[in-house]
Amino acid sequence: MHKLFLIFSLLALPCLFFQPETNIPDSKETPETKEQNKTDICQELYEEMELDSIVDSDAFRQAVAGYYKIKERKRDVLTLIDFSKPSTEKRLYVFDMKKKKMLFCSVVSHGRNSGGNYATSFSNENGSYKSSLGFYLTENTYQGKNGYSLVLNGLEEGINDNAKRRAIVMHGAAYSNPSTIRCSGRLGRSLGCPAVPQALSRPIIDAIKGGSVLYIYAKKPEYFAQSHIAERPSNIL
């Protein structure tokens, strides 16, 4: 009986060590798959929020991709400022990423040395009075000479990391009220801050303060070449 058991055990050994091959798909994502997944997520959000004809899809895609890269964020809120649009158009958007809806859509001023109706020139230098592109994290609020204001922390070295030293903050301003457009043909300009209409300053600031992502976008190849957060778009040379 013992010999018979031993024979059966020896016969079973090949089954234990030589299992038939199975076609298990590789679970690792290729760079192409990752890129496609990100594109799909952005497109789904864009459609679900019904942003077509309101928000530029390229600007939105850049903002969302950067939002997910920034792990230090503390809020499920994303702000996009699209400086490829003129100051006479609504170009500041605040999104609730959890509820998948747009909270605000407003005009916003750029720095006085960045351009007239369009912001075309940007700087990280103190005293430039220009806007700075790129990704920021919002911080605390305070009461300053421009009223209720929000501190912005620039996350991109050489692009906007001087924001605090330059006192680049979000605040309300009379020159950012839409009525200014009727008088001068464009919105008034700041010293570099993203200034918003006075009636919306507190609601917007309260919605985005305390660690949310803010992204200032423009179709500038030099920015995309330098940024470590934004993805270089194929349609911008």
CATH number, span 35-226: 2.40.440.10
- Tokens for 79, please give them: 């702000």
pLDDT tops 90 at residue 12: no
Rounded distance, CA 107 to CA 96, Å?
19
Per-residue burial over 216-232, b = 16 or more CB atoms within 10 Å of its CB, e = otherwise: bbbebeebbeebebbee
Please classify residue 198 by burial: count the beta carbons closer than 10 Å to its beta carbon, then call 0-12 exposed, 13-18 middle and 19+ buried: middle
pLDDT tops 60 at residue 21: no
Interval 85-139: pLDDT, tens? 999 999 999 999 999 999 999 999 999 999 999 999 999 999 999 999 999 999 9
Q: Residue 234's pLDDT band (boundaries 50, 70, 90)?
A: confident
pLDDT for res 40: 84
pLDDT for res 57: 96
pLDDT for res 36: 61
Rounded distance, CA 83 to CA 111, Å?
11
Interval 29-75: pLDDT, tens? 565 565 566 678 899 999 999 999 999 999 999 999 999 999 999 99
Please classify residue 51 by burial: count the beta carbons closer than 10 Å to its beta carbon, then call 0-12 exposed, 13-18 middle and 19+ buried: middle
Q: Residue 228's pLDDT band (boundaries 50, 70, 90)?
A: very high
Residue 208 identity (one-letter amino acid): I
Q: Domain map of the chain by residue range?
A: 35-226
Rounded distance, CA 67 to CA 24, Å?
34
Interval 145-199: pLDDT, tens? 999 999 999 999 999 999 999 999 999 999 999 999 999 999 999 999 999 999 9
